[in-house]
Amino acid sequence: MSKPGKFIKATELSISAQSAIKLPTGTSGQRPATPVNGQIRYNTSDAVVEMYTSGAWVTIAKVGLVSIVKDTFTGDGSTVAYTASQSIADEQDVIVHVGNVHQNPGVAYTVSGTTITFTSPPPDTHTIIVQHGYNSTGA
């Protein structure tokens, strides 16, 4: 006989089409004290399903479509800051091209809220294309 809270080895889990698995739930402050890779839980603070991997809790992306947004600007040779149509959480969540040349995040530009700041002004008349909305955790 197994003890509550312990795993039973060599056991299969069978779920019918009209049932579900209830994940452990709790706030961010109620995460396991010594987590191990592969643990999954529902975080009630952030309203997301999360998984522990490589030393950190990460959000498991929702399945679905994301809305990619394209903002277009024209460089004038002096302006370094441009305003995107919506807030960008991280420079890794955006793709930027200036004059059809890909720009490296954190090197050629940074983001803060809706502001994209280039390390040097895009050349005069060059088209700046900013695509964002790739972060699927909000899908």
39-57 burial, b at 16+ Cβ within 10 Å, e below that, comes to eebebeeeebebebeeeeb
Q: pLDDT tens digits for 10-63?
A: 666 677 778 888 899 999 999 999 999 999 999 999 888 999 999 999 988 766
- Domain borders along the chain are 25-59, 69-138
Q: pLDDT tens digits for 72-123?
A: 999 999 999 999 999 988 888 899 999 999 999 999 999 999 999 999 999 9
